[in-house]
Amino acid sequence: MAAPESGDGNNGAARMVTLISSDNTRFEVEAAAASLSQTLQLTILDGGGGGGDGIPLPNVDSATLSKVLEYCIKHAPAAANGGAPNATAVDRAELERFDNEFVNIDQSVLYSLIMAAHNLEIEGLQSLVAKKVADMIKGKSPMEIRRTLGFPDPTPEEQAEMNAHMLEYGWAYE
Amino acid sequence: MVTTIEDLPADVLSRALRRLDGRSLAAASCATSGLRALAADPDTWRALCLAEWPALARLDRRRLLDALPPRRLFADASPFPSPDATAAPGLDLELPDRLVSAVDVYARGGGAPLLSRVVETPASSSWFLGSPFRVEAVERRKPPETEPAAPITCPADLELSWVVVDPARGRAVNVSSRRAVAVDRHWYTGETLVRFATVLGGCKFEAVVSCAELGGVAELGLAVEDADGAAVAGEGALRLLAAAMEAPRRGGEGEHEEARRRYQEFVRRKKGRKESKARREALVDLCCSAASAAVVLTLIAAVALR
């Protein structure tokens, strides 16, 4: 996304905004980073979030928000020049390494992160977590998927149902 | 508070499921009832089909795919057909009156296809039913077409998918071995012929990609041969295709190798049959000569002894 040279861009030194998590922790970040969120971008363009009054985010707790902001701050410079010519291969490799590290987290944290990315509409982060979830499922048998995703072992009835469905997808298992 | 994956909103989860390959998506939908409900979404399977066979996008645009439930299309066309799917001659299988082929040529290792074609074949005319079955995805032109999306540098590494769809019944089958079963050189034109074949009901469906020396595809067609090497006519080919569409599929990992093995066995058998036929003819020849020699000798003997 190309950032037009308007509003915050012209103010020279980065404009800061304040975000307030559901447990009332205040986070101060550059407007450019927070604007990766489609939801926040509109408020910020309207001049919200500056000065004393922050933007309340009742759906996001502080632990998740700090994680989200870590992502936004890392990705803001790349998003600002739209992945344009000056994004070198080294930068991209670095971002990729960061992304891989970033989603290497507990499932409960991952799910909160997914919800936050969804609520805040952060496109890049949404793809990243979707990819992570897909990677957790990819190449596994139904049973392995259950275990990976933390489901209890199936009851006999569930097992019977699973077998019936596996029969339906017989082509996938030989 | 979200504690399990099924507490996530449906659109978030479908987004993740859309990144899966068919086998993993099938496994996911067997794992839990929540995932099953999500994986039943036809759009997910449609996206998967279009990603797997870009040629189908053209059919999709012409609303030809509407009759095909995407999940079944995937289950039909992704695995290999069963080699012993024979239509018993007595059994009255309804033959398709129109075939649509969706053909994609890839370089091994994934990426966008080098070439995608859709060919419609009207299959009800008596002319079609009676003459040798052949479908051309790329026709040979007098001034060769100069349109290789990317020049083919290593013909042996080509992969081909040839999905034959019967739009009326909404069934499909993939008649290509995906990986080449043989690569040879045309003795006259110098083109590299990359062969992809599956054996169905004792007959060989073979698609040949002719790679011109400049890296373009000069010709790409599908033909069917019976065990003696004779071309199979349209009606026979339709019968085999209809049977293969109905028969169960084979989805194992080793199917690429299996397809190559079956091809080699087919070729060996054909050679064997030819040789034994030749031997039989030689034997008949010998018997005839022996018999006539005996007749002549008897005559001579009869004359001499009188």
Q: Could you give the CA distance from residue A1 to residue B117 in angstroms, rounded to a whole number?
A: 34
Looking at the structure, tell me whether residues B100 and B172 fall in a common domain.
yes
Residue B302 forms part of a structural domain: no
Report pLDDT for B301: 94
Report pLDDT for B302: 93
Looking at the structure, tell me whether residues B68 and B36 fall in a common domain.
no
> Among A21, A46, A70, A171, which Cα is nearest to B76's?
A171
Q: Beta strand pairing status for A16-20 and A55-56?
A: parallel
Output b/e per residue, A4-26; b: 16+ Cβ within 10 A: eeeebeeeeeebebbbbbeeeee
Structure confidence by residue, pLDDT tens digits, B214-259: 777 888 999 999 888 889 999 889 989 988 888 888 766 778 888 8
A115 at B interface, C-beta within 8 A: yes
Tell if the CB–CB gap between A142 and B27 is shorter than 8 Å: yes
Chain B positions with Cβ closer than 8 Å to A:
1-5, 7-9, 12-13, 15-24, 26-33, 35-36, 75, 78-79, 248-253
Tell if the CB–CB gap between B27 and A108 is shorter than 8 Å: no
Lowest average pLDDT, out of A39-48, A78-87, B61-70, B133-142, goes to A78-87
Residue B54 forms part of a structural domain: no
Which residues, numbered 93 to 112 in chain A, qualify as contacts with chain B under a Cβ-Cβ cut-off of 8 Å?
107-108, 111-112
- In chain A, whose CA is at the least distance from the CA of B252? A174
Q: ipTM of this predicted complex?
A: 0.78
- The total of other beta-carbon atoms located within 10 Å of residue A94's CB is 13
Residue B295 forms part of a structural domain: no
Task: Tell me the two tokens of residue A1.
Answer: 């996304």
Residue A65 forms part of a structural domain: yes
How many angstroms from the chain centroid is the CA of residue A42?
19
Coil vs helix vs strand at B124: coil
Contacts of A165 in chain B (CB under 8 A): 29-30, 36
B299: pLDDT strictly greater than 60: yes
Distance, in angstroms, between B197 CA and closest chain A CA?
20
Residue B24 forms part of a structural domain: yes
- The total of other beta-carbon atoms located within 10 Å of residue B133's CB is 25
Domain count for chain A: 1
Residue A93 forms part of a structural domain: yes
Looking at the structure, tell me whether residues B151 and B229 fall in a common domain.
yes
Looking at the structure, tell me whether residues B34 and B179 fall in a common domain.
no
Coil vs helix vs strand at B160: strand
CA-only gyration radius of chain A, Å: 20
Average pLDDT score over residue span B139-153: 64
Q: For a pLDDT cut of 90, what percent of chain A falls above it? A: 18
Q: What is the DSSP letter of B132?
A: B
B30: confidence class by pLDDT, cuts 50, 70, 90: confident
pTM of the model: 0.77
A135: confidence class by pLDDT, cuts 50, 70, 90: very high
Q: Give 3-state DSSP helix, strand, coil % of chain B, rounded to 5.
A: 40, 25, 35
> Among B239, B210, B235, which Cα is nearest to B222's?
B210
* Domain coverage including residue A84: 8-138
- Non-local (6+) Cβ contacts of B68 within 8 A are B165, B167, B170, B172
Looking at the structure, tell me whether residues B173 and B254 fall in a common domain.
yes
Average pLDDT score over residue span A69-89: 75
Residue A33 forms part of a structural domain: yes
> Among A50, A70, A174, which Cα is nearest to A122's?
A70
Domain count for chain B: 2
Tell if the CB–CB gap between B19 and A172 is shorter than 8 Å: no
Residue B176 forms part of a structural domain: yes
- DSSP string for residues in B264-286: HHHHHHHHHHHHHHHHHHHHHHH
Residue B205 forms part of a structural domain: yes
By Cβ distance, the residue of A149, A150, A172 closest to B26 is A172
Report pLDDT for A129: 92
Residue B154 forms part of a structural domain: yes
Residue A158 forms part of a structural domain: no
* Domain coverage including residue B239: 62-269
B88: confidence class by pLDDT, cuts 50, 70, 90: low
Distance, in angstroms, between A148 CA and closest chain B CA?
11
Q: What is the CATH number of the domain that holds A54?
A: 3.30.710.10
Looking at the structure, tell me whether residues B133 and B246 fall in a common domain.
yes
A2: confidence class by pLDDT, cuts 50, 70, 90: very low
Residue B284 forms part of a structural domain: no
Looking at the structure, tell me whether residues B258 and B118 fall in a common domain.
yes
Looking at the structure, tell me whether residues B18 and B149 fall in a common domain.
no
Looking at the structure, tell me whether residues B35 and B111 fall in a common domain.
no
Report pLDDT for A65: 92
CA distances from A126 to A110, A116, A142 (A): 11, 9, 25
Contacts of B5 in chain A (CB under 8 A): 107, 111, 133, 149
A41: confidence class by pLDDT, cuts 50, 70, 90: confident
Distance, in angstroms, between B9 CA and closest chain A CA?
8
Structure confidence by residue, pLDDT tens digits, A99-115: 988 988 888 889 999 99
Residue A2 forms part of a structural domain: no
Looking at the structure, tell me whether residues B246 and B105 fall in a common domain.
yes
Looking at the structure, tell me whether residues B77 and B220 fall in a common domain.
yes
